[in-house]
Homo-oligomer: A and B are copies of this chain.
Amino acid sequence: MRASNPELKILKKIFILQDLEEAELVDVRAASVPREFSAGSVILTEGDPGEQMYILLAGEVEVTKRLLLPIDRTALLERIMNRLNSGDGVTLGEMALIENDVRSANVTASTDCRMLELSKEKALLLFNQNPAMGVKILFRLSQLLSKRLRKSDEDIVKLTTALVVALER
């Protein structure tokens, strides 16, 4: 399936696709399947297995994450909120391209959403057919994960400090 111009414009904004030539973006588009999610529907569920990455072409999604271990006294688990819209160059579930693990967050459609779904299988095929494109995508994916890791490690230092202060009261 050929990529339309507005779609290519969105693909160019995607962090892990930013180094690709236009012809390579067209190949990524061709390896993907269009998906529609209506407002309110669940796209990814934390803890579920998953082998697809999603690119948000139109609409807005909400990302939530379990923040607390289930402890007796709190019936409600708190969640971190994040709202992302298609103008931001959003990928969801991109860790599925490189591992066999469960989803690390919940994603819900806040509005009707149009997505591209790229399976791990199709991504590996693309990397195999065009390793130079594979290097470009995996290099940026590593950067994305490394940025997130540094952010999480900073949060751990902050939380540990807060915990020490709380316990010393």
Contact = CB atoms under 8 A, between A and B. Distances in A.
Given A95-B146, A139-B138, A156 B160 contact: no
Number of copies: 2
Interface in A62-102: 65-69, 71, 73-74, 95, 97-99, 101
Interface in A149-169: 149-150, 152-153, 155-168
B157 A156 contact: no
A81 to B, nearest CB: 15
A164 B78 CA distance: 11
Contacts of A73: 168
Interface of A: 65-69, 71, 73-74, 95, 97-99, 101, 104, 127-128, 131-132, 134-135, 138-139, 141-143, 145-150, 152-153, 155-168
Given A146-B99, A166-B163, A166-B167, A155 B156 contact: yes
Nearest to A153: B152
A119 to B, nearest CB: 16
